[in-house]
């Protein structure tokens, strides 16, 4: 009788541990999903800021029509690609970052534009949004690391294996140029 | 990072439990001293009552009182875009569930602090002195340190521990004072044996009343110093740029001037101890480790920004004992350091002006642009029809809508605004 009670007790403790570990894995997996959507929020914000930027700059940089058109084109491509999978979206966003940093290099030659209050405010917003994109990616990688550790470390790896918790992919920058300069610099 | 939060929670619960035991024991002995027998029980209950009241006050309206008493003004994205953006960047890097509220304190003393018992409704406050001295990377390092306090739940546990230590101090202080001014026991024991026991208890309670506050404070400050190192490690991890915080600490500790008028309770949440003299070395009664030591650890992270790199740097500076638990370091990978952002080097006066502008806008100052290039700022309620430009002396007519607003303000009992004597 006592032996039976003991066995039941041990089984119950084990069951509680399994449930706790399973729930912990679910919470972490949801954090990973949520962190990914946070990156999208910031990318969307960048797309929203660009038409304003182009509109403000148009009057000042008459000789740089091509640069501005490239930004608008890259922005439209990125907007379209945002629903087309991580790889395509990542490539389009990388090109948009490139077009923007080219534009901000050009701006150095236009002191009038650089003195425009509206432009300065937009510049701060865009540069901060670039930072937020990279911090959101960084947090995504931090939380993926935490999740992957859980799926690999004992004892949670047993639960992860038997309930099909797969490793999550880290975010990797596709464009080598972007890897060198993680932030667009103005 | 998540293991760190977990182990912080466990340690903090243990600490607060221990402090609560000290508090109740103190209450018991004091009660017993005053009235041997039942008095001990009443004393313990009274101690818990004091603790509950203090706890309710600090959990209930604590943050609002704290922010109000430090003269903090809340800013939104429009009022202080860069500061607000930096806080949001760090909120994202830390993965906080909600955006903290952002406050500015009008003081030339460079400092910053975080409050909020819950990461869902926390707040970060910085002084104008801080804004005017630091560049974007340095400010980001400081904000990341404060966000680290929120993410690691330091704000919650240091508040709880602080309240408990406070209750211990108050009870011990009342008791010792009462003793000194000749208060005493209400009931004398009749039998000789009981008298001896009571005498031993009396001596014990006096010793406890003297030792308990000291012990509680030593423990509290040790915990606070450890949390500072951890917040520094979090700052390095969030920004991926330890040098930003290191330079910021250098600049902040280089300030020798007035002190910040602020409640003692926030001291552990500040970037640097506001009460100690600048650069003073650490003791068992300091909330913060010596600033030079924090800078040295940050600078010897050798191209890393992870908890592992911080722990390694800490070990080499402190003779091989680490500051971050091994459970937290398990499975940490290194991500390297990013490049500094090359924002144009704004000079000190430019930074000061933009920090002051934030406050002027908040206070609804209006501006008149002079042809000499100076923007004259008028406080709300300015009631003179004209004024001379302080730089070139040109006369300006104050717009009628401002005068109307001033008249309305005075009719409502407000005082007329005068330009600040420059």
A77 burial level (CB within 10 Å; 0-12, 13-18, 19+):
middle
Inter-CA distances, A84 with A32, A77, A136, Å = 20, 11, 20
Residues 6+ apart with CB under 8 A from B92: A38, A42, A132, A135, A136, A139
Structural domain includes residue B218: yes
Asked if pLDDT for residue B332 goes beyond 80, the answer is: no
Asked if pLDDT for residue A113 goes beyond 50, the answer is: yes
Predicted ipTM? Answer: 0.82
Asked if pLDDT for residue A121 goes beyond 80, the answer is: yes
**Same domain for B241 and B384?**
no
Q: Tens digit of pLDDT for each residue in B353-378?
A: 777 778 777 777 777 778 787 778 77
CB atoms within 10 A of CB A33: 12
**Same domain for B314 and B256?**
yes
Least confident of B62-66, B334-338, B341-345: B341-345
Q: Is A151 on the interface with B (CB under 8 A)?
A: no
Structural domain includes residue B69: yes
Q: Is A141 on the interface with B (CB under 8 A)?
A: yes
Asked if pLDDT for residue B417 goes beyond 70, the answer is: no
B225–chain A nearest CA distance, Å: 26
What is the per-residue DSSP string for B283-351?
-TT-SS--HHHHHHHHHTSTT--SHHHHHHHHHHHTTS--SS-HHHHTT------PPPP------HHHH
pLDDT at B148: 94
pLDDT at A180: 42
- Sheet with B123-127: strands ordered across: B72-75, B101-105, B123-127, B112-115
Q: For residue B326, what pLDDT band results from cuts at 50, 70 and 90?
A: low
Rounded to whole angstroms, the Cα distance separating B273 from B61 reads 24
- Interface touch B343/A136, C-beta < 8 Å: no
Which of B338, B371, B395 marks a domain boundary? Answer: B338
Asked if pLDDT for residue B393 goes beyond 60, the answer is: yes
**Same domain for B314 and B394?**
no
Structural domain includes residue B318: yes
Asked if pLDDT for residue B279 goes beyond 50, the answer is: no
Asked if pLDDT for residue B269 goes beyond 60, the answer is: yes
**Same domain for B42 and B160?**
yes
**Which residues of chain B does A141 touch, with a Cβ-Cβ cutoff of 8 Å?**
335
Mean pLDDT of chain A: 84
Which of B338, B372, B396 marks a domain boundary? Answer: B338
What dihedral do alpha carbons B191, B193, B194, B200 form, nearest 10°?
140
**Same domain for B211 and B281?**
yes
CA B277 and chain centroid, separation: 16
Nearest Cβ partner for B88 among A127, A132, A146: A132
Number of domains making up chain B? 2
Which of B:91-110 have CB within 8 Å of A?
A: 92-95
Rounded to whole angstroms, the Cα distance separating B152 from B136 reads 24
pLDDT at A16: 94
Structural domain includes residue B382: yes
**Same domain for B184 and B324?**
yes
pLDDT at B400: 79
Comparing C-alpha atoms, which of B171, B106, B165 is closest to residue B132?
A: B106
**Same domain for B113 and B221?**
yes
Q: Tens digit of pLDDT for each residue in A54-94?
A: 888 888 887 778 888 888 999 998 888 877 777 778 888 88
pLDDT at B414: 65
Structural domain includes residue B356: no
Asked if pLDDT for residue B141 goes beyond 90, the answer is: yes
Q: Which residues pair with B127 in a beta bridge?
A: B105
**Same domain for B387 and B331?**
no
Structural domain includes residue B329: yes
Structural domain includes residue B282: yes
User: Which H/E stretch holds residue B102?
Assistant: strand B101-105
B286–chain A nearest CA distance, Å: 33
Q: Which two structure tokens, joined as six digits, stand for A109?
A: 């030659």
Structural domain includes residue B419: no
**Same domain for B303 and B224?**
yes
Q: Tens digit of pLDDT for each residue in A26-35?
A: 999 999 999 9
pLDDT at B283: 67
Which of B303, B338, B373 marks a domain boundary? Answer: B338
Q: Quick one: average pLDDT of A123-147?
A: 89
**Same domain for B309 and B373?**
no
Domain range enclosing B396: 363-411
pLDDT at B422: 38
* The model's pTM: 0.81
**Same domain for B315 and B371?**
no
**Same domain for B371 and B258?**
no
Rounded to whole angstroms, the Cα distance separating A163 from A157 reads 10
pLDDT at A179: 42
Look-up: residue for tokens 């508040």? B159
Rounded to whole angstroms, the Cα distance separating B159 from B163 reads 6
Q: For residue B36, what pLDDT band results from cuts at 50, 70 and 90?
A: confident
Nearest Cβ partner for B92 among A127, A132, A183: A132
């Amino acid at each position: 009788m006592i032996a039976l009670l003991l066995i039941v007790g041990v089984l119950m403790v084990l069951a509680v541990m399994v449930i706790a570990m399973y729930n912990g894995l679910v919470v972490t997996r949801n954090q990973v999903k949520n962190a990914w959507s946070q990156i999208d929020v910031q990318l969307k914000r960048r797309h929203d800021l660009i038409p304003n930027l182009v509109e403000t700059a148009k009057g000042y940089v008459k000789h740089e029509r091509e640069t501005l058109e490239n930004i608008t084109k890259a922005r439209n491509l990125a907007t379209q690609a945002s629903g087309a999978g991580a790889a395509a979206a990542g490539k389009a966003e990388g090109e948009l970052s490139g077009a923007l940093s080219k534009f901000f290099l050009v701006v150095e030659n236009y002191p009038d534009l650089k003195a425009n209050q509206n432009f300065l405010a937009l510049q701060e917003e865009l540069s901060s949004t670039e930072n937020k994109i990279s911090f959101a990616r960084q947090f995504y990688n931090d939380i993926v690391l935490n999740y992957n550790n859980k799926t690999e470390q004992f004892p949670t790896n047993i639960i992860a294996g038997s309930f099909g918790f797969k490793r999550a992919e880290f975010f990797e920058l596709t464009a080598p140029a972007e890897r060198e300069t993680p932030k667009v610099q103005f | 990072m998540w293991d760190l939060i977990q182990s912080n929670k466990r340690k903090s619960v243990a600490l607060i439990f221990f402090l609560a035991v000290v508090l109740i024991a103190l209450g018991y002995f004091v009660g017993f001293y005053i009235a041997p027998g039942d008095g001990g029980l009443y004393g313990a209950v009274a101690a818990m009552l004091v603790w509950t009241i203090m706890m309710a006050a600090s959990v209930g309206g604590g943050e609002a009182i704290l922010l109000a008493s430090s003269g903090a003004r809340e800013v939104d994205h429009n009022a202080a875009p860069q500061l607000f953006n930096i806080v949001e960047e760090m909120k994202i890097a830390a993965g906080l569930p909600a955006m903290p509220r952002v406050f500015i304190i009008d003081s030339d003393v460079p400092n910053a602090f975080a409050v909020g018992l819950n990461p869902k409704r926390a707040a970060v406050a910085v002084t104008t002195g801080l804004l005017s001295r630091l560049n974007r990377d340095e400010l980001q390092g400081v904000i990341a340190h404060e966000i680290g306090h929120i993410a690691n739940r330091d704000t919650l546990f240091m508040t709880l521990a602080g309240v408990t230590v406070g209750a211990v101090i108050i009870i011990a202080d009342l008791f010792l004072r009462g003793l000194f001014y000749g208060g005493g026991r209400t009931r004398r024991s009749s039998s000789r044996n009981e008298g001896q026991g009571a005498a031993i208890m009396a001596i014990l309670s006096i010793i406890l009343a003297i030792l308990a506050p000291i012990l509680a404070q030593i423990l509290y400050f040790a915990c606070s110093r450890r949390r500072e190192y951890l917040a520094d490690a979090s700052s390095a991890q969030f920004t991926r740029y330890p040098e930003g915080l290191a330079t910021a600490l250098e600049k902040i500790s280089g300030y020798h001037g007035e002190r910040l008028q602020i409640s003692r309770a926030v001291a552990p949440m500040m970037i640097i101890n506001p009460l100690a003299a600048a650069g003073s070395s650490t003791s068992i009664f300091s909330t913060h480790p010596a600033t030079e030591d924090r800078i040295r650890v940050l600078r010897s992270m050798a191209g890393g920004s992870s908890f592992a790199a911080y722990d390694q740097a800490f070990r080499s500076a402190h003779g091989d004992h680490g500051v971050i638990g091994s459970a937290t370091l398990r499975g940490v990978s290194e991500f390297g350091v990013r490049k500094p952002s090359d924002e144009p080097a704004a000079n000190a006066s430019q930074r000061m002006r933009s920090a002051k502008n934030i406050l002027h806008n908040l206070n609804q100052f209006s501006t008149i642009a002079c042809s000499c290039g100076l923007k004259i700022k008028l406080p709300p309620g300015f009631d003179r029809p004209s004024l001379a430009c302080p730089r070139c002396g040109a006369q300006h007519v104050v717009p009628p809508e401002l005068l109307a607003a001033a008249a309305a303000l005075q009719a409502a009992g407000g005082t007329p605004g005068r330009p600040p004597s420059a």
